[in-house]
Amino acid sequence: MAELRTLGPESWREFVTAEGTAVLVIGKNDCDACNTWGEELARFLAEDQEFSGVRFGKIDLKQRGLIDFKKENTWLAELDVLPYNVIYRDGQIVKQFAGGGAERLTNRLRNL
């Protein structure tokens, strides 16, 4: 079973650049849709067996110290909808989508 890790200024880079597949959920702590998606994803991961080799992390854009994350991901300034999900493979972005939903996420992971 995988778990949803909370990432911060000191951990995000290693998370997204490591080998293998990683899902990064981007949101804000005062965003109801972000909190709902985070809770749904955590429940899903607690029972899931299929994606045990995938890393899952979330990052709160309101967290202090994320200037490097924001500078290196200039596309963040264009986001209109949160939560936003980014799937990385071996450090490269391979899929991105707004919103939540375990079924939407699993479909994208299966199609990689």
Q: Is the pTM of this model over 0.85?
A: yes
CATH number, position 95: 3.40.30.10
Is the confidence at residue 1, as pLDDT, over 80?
no
Nearest 5°: phi and psi at 72? -80, -15
The residue segments making up the domain with residue 24 are 4-110
pLDDT at 2 over 90: no
- Taking only the tens place, the pLDDT of each residue in 7-47 is 999 999 999 999 999 999 999 999 999 999 999 999 999 99
Work out the mean pLDDT of the chain and round it to a whole number: 96
How many domains are contained in the chain? 1
